[in-house]
Each structure stands twice: as C-alpha cells, then as structure tokens.
Chains A and B, each alone.
Chain A
Amino acid sequence: MAHSYVQESIKNRRSVNRAFASKFAKSMFIAVSLLVILSFIGTRMFTHVDLNLYGYVVGTFVFIGGFFYRFIAWGERPPTKIFMKKGIRLLFRKSTPKTTANHLGTYQFIWDRGIYRWTQHLLIGWGVILSCLVTFPLVFGWMYFTMEENGYYTVVAFGMDVMRVEADGWLAFFFYNALNFTAIAVILGVCMALYRRLKHMQARAEQKFIYDFMPLYLLLFISITGLALTFMNVFLHGQGHYVMSLIHQYSVIVTLIYLPFGKLAHIPFRPLSVFARNYREHYSEQSMKKCKNCSTEFVSTEQSRDVRDVLHENAIHFDMEEGFNLAELCLPCRRKYRMSRFSGKPTHKVIHKEANQDAKG
C-alpha cells in the first residue's frame, strides 16, 4: 500500500517535471522563433543587421531562458494559476484600459503610498521602459536609420520607410540622445531610491544586498557606462569607446540575466495586478458571499471558493466543530469568533460593533 503510494507520488512528480519541461520548451521555441521572424522582416531579410549589437542578442536569448524558467514555475503555484486563468478570460472588460494605465503607466497606487516614492519609481520605471523601447528594436533590427540623401536620415521600422528627419534637426537630436535622457532619469531615480534605503527605518530593517541594493547598482552601472560612451564620443574624440562599449554590453547582459530572479522580477509579474482587479470587480458583480454569522457581504463567492480550494491543495483546512468554515465568516466576525474560542464566551454572537481599534500613538 505504502509502496504503491510512493510509486504514485514519484510518478506524479515526474509528470509534473515533464509538464514543466514541455511548457518551457514550447515557450522558448515560440519566443525565439518570433524574435527571429520579426528580425527577418525588420532587417529586410537580414541585410541590415547591426553586428555591433550582437552581444545583446545573445543576452536576450539567455534572459528569455531565465524568464520562462521563473515565470512558468511561478505560474504553477495554485493561487497564481487561478488568477492567470481567470484573468485572461476577463481581459476584455470595459475597465481594463483604465486599470492598466493606472497600475502600469501612472502608478496611482504608488502616489498614494508617497510622492517621494512615486517620483523615484516614475523616473526609474519609465527610464527603463523607454530605454528598452529604443534599445531592443535597434538590437533586432526592427528599427534602423539609413542616409540616402545627404543631410537626411530615413527611419526604417519593420522594413518600411516611416519618416525622414534632418540629420542636424531637433527631432534627430532627441533620437540620438534618447538613451542619454533616460539614463539621466534612471540615475536620478536610483539616487533617490538609494537615499531612501539609507534613511527609511523599515527599509533598513528588511533590506538585503542581493535583493534590494544589487538591482539599483546594476541600473546605475548600465546608466553610467552608457553616459560614459556619449562622453567619450563627444569630448574625447571616441577614445576608449570600444572598451567602454564592451563594459556597457556586459552590464546590460548581467542585468538581463538577473532580472527574472530578483527584485526586478516584479516588472514582468506586475500585470497580474490588472488581472486581480478585473477578477475582483467581475465576480463581485456576479454574486457576493454573506457572512455566516452577521450576513454582511464581504467577498465574492468565487474568490471565497478559490481561496478555500487553494488552501485545500496546501492541506490547510479551517472547518470548525460548529459546522462552518472560517472562510465563511467576515473579518470582524472571524476575529470575534477567535475571542469566543479564547474565552468561552460567545463574543461573535453578540451584535455589537467592533470596539475602538483606532488608538493613535
């Protein structure tokens, strides 16, 4: 009996591993093929590849490997799986664009946590996003510049001539210096973040070098070496350019490898907050769960059931002798029920509002 159980569990683990491997292989294959096909189109059948940037291509492929490894493992956790599955189904809600802009664009919730933190996050966040939007199209040849006529650059996107700009015009100035501007934004944001990490007591108590400081130093490393490249070209007549460009490439690739495993992993994971908001809104409209004790509606029926399923999968059961599950009580009733378990008096049965919980320090 025990033997068959052990066999069963080994078999089970093997099939889980196999499912993970096949999912990983499939995702890798699709992602790499997509990148190659897009490059093929973008570079007009590989005739406009910027070989100076090939290091970033290799770095990106390594990053994709790490990313899928982390992301698929994360998505296998029971609660994550539920939010991913139901979130995708609810993606086309009316409120999605607004929620997305709020959560991923303007960071309204960080503003509510503090204006200082919002400023630093805006500088770092948008600095990094804009840098990626400039860098990766150049790396994969989705965007490049040609000069057919003297004094004018043609911007080519996905093999199509999109626009023509004066080589010494103001628009071109912003094109050339986009990464310099974003680098300055990132450096400012990182300095603000570092200052906060030195001063904020909670941050000081919980921070770890690898988790909290390393991503900041990496971003600083990238931004400073990037700016140094510009400095060398403008003021030193290109002296040391090749060494610095290798150092810069190294800094970017190391960061890409680190990204899925440390604090920066919240960048690809964060869209789940839009899923979560949609999930809560949608299922609250469907039906609400009433507290077994006081009949207050406190959560959607769906979420209550999902959380209970997740806890069951983790072998956590909160079934009480009285014949209900703790998840069926609203939060104040759950606390009062605990009082009754502590004291033997039926606190939760007394209809009485919560005692004062707002003593100020």
Chain B
Amino acid sequence: MKKRLYIELENCIGCRSCLAACTQCGGHEERNRNYVYDVNPLVDRQTMPLMCLHCENPACARSCPAQAIQIHETGAVLSALVEKCIGCQNCTIACPYGIPKFDTEQNLMYKCDLCIDRTKDGIPPMCASVCPSNTLQWLTEEEIEQKEQQHKLDNDKWVASMPLEGRTEVKVNLPGILQGTEKLF
C-alpha cells in the first residue's frame, strides 16, 4: 500500500533527531539532507522541520541540463545521479524551498531522496522512523484522509498543503492556529 510522508509541523520540539537519523541512511554518507528551523527566533522556541516535499512537477529536475535528477516510480524525486551531475547548481536556484545542497569538492548536488532504499520497500524514511513527537509520519492515503477530515473547515477547503507552490508527494499539515482549529491533545 502506498504511504506518504506526512508532516504535522506544529508538533516539532526541535530535537533534531530527523537530522541525525538522515545522516545514517544508507548512501547519505553521514551528511544530513533536511533542515530544522526556529520559527520565531529570539522570541519563542517553536521549531519546524523542512525537507524536500517531492513535487510532482519538480523545478529542480526541469532545470537540470544533464537529466541527473530522476523521479522514482514511487514519486520520490531522487538525489542527483553521480555520473550525470555536472555541478551547475541550476537545481539549487530553481527549487522553491531551497532544499538541494551542493558539495563543491565532489562537484555534486545531493538532496533528500526520501530514503529510497527504505521507502521503495515500504519501510518509513529515517526521519519519520525516529521522530519522537509525531511531526514526521509515514501514513497511508486513508490515514491522511482521516487527518484531513479532522481538520476540515467550514469553507470546504483543507488548508494543509494549500500554500505550497504545486502538488507534492509529501503532505504538509499546517499549525492549528492558522486553520482556526485546536488540537485535541
């Protein structure tokens, strides 16, 4: 059954387990590929994770002159193919979320591949496996549907993933404050 990464942003406690776990994924060569940000630095301690949202029409792959960024059959937008990436960094300029990282010495872009060695076999990605606060979850379509129902507003719109720049494989749920709903725990 197809599962997706689902992010409940407001749950994040800033422990950075997702960053640490990312470094341990096979082939990530001990470097993390995601981000954790202070939302309102110097004011409060709220943090939120930011990872590749795996666009259905990825700007990074569209702007790549070498066709180095491939899209896996599961929908994951893969990291640059090592033999094809020519190090032009077009993808970093194109990405609307600023996700791809670039290694100048290796002349190679690397980005979140949704731990493809795991997710292609239905195992959750490293970040979702370790997240202690259920910010990052690995859910089926039905489970995401249920969450959607839970957050449904009167105006017939689910606010989650609305403010993104396009359709994405990863589903993002916005903080309850913005949606006018309150969490039930």
Contact = CB atoms under 8 A, between A and B. Distances in A.
Check if A and B associate.
yes
B175 A318 contact: no
Nearest to A334: B98
Interface in A269-304: 269-270, 272-273, 275-277, 279-280, 299, 303-304
A344 B178 contact: yes
A342 B9 contact: yes
Contacts of A200: 27
Nearest to B40: A345
Interface residues of B, number: 69
A202 B25 CA distance: 9
Nearest to B173: A342
Contacts of B37: 335-336, 339, 347, 354-355
Contacts of B94: 307, 310-311, 327
A44 B95 CA distance: 57
B96 A334 contact: yes
B146 to A, nearest CB: 22
A326 B98 CA distance: 9
Interface of B: 9, 14, 16-17, 19-24, 26-28, 30, 32, 35-42, 46-48, 50, 57, 59, 62-67, 78, 82-84, 86-90, 92-99, 103, 105-108, 116-118, 120, 163, 165-166, 172, 174-175, 177-178
Contact of B90 (A310, A316, A339, A359): A310
B170 to A, nearest CB: 13
A109 B65 contact: no
Contact of A352 (B38, B99, B174): B38
Contacts of A263: 83
Please name the 3 residue pairs, one residue from A and one from B, whose CB atoms are nearest each other, closest first.
A202-B27, A201-B26, A205-B117
B62 A279 contact: no
Given A79-B90, A307-B90, A311-B59, A359 B20 contact: yes
B165 A318 contact: yes
Interface string A302-334: 011011001100101010000000110101111
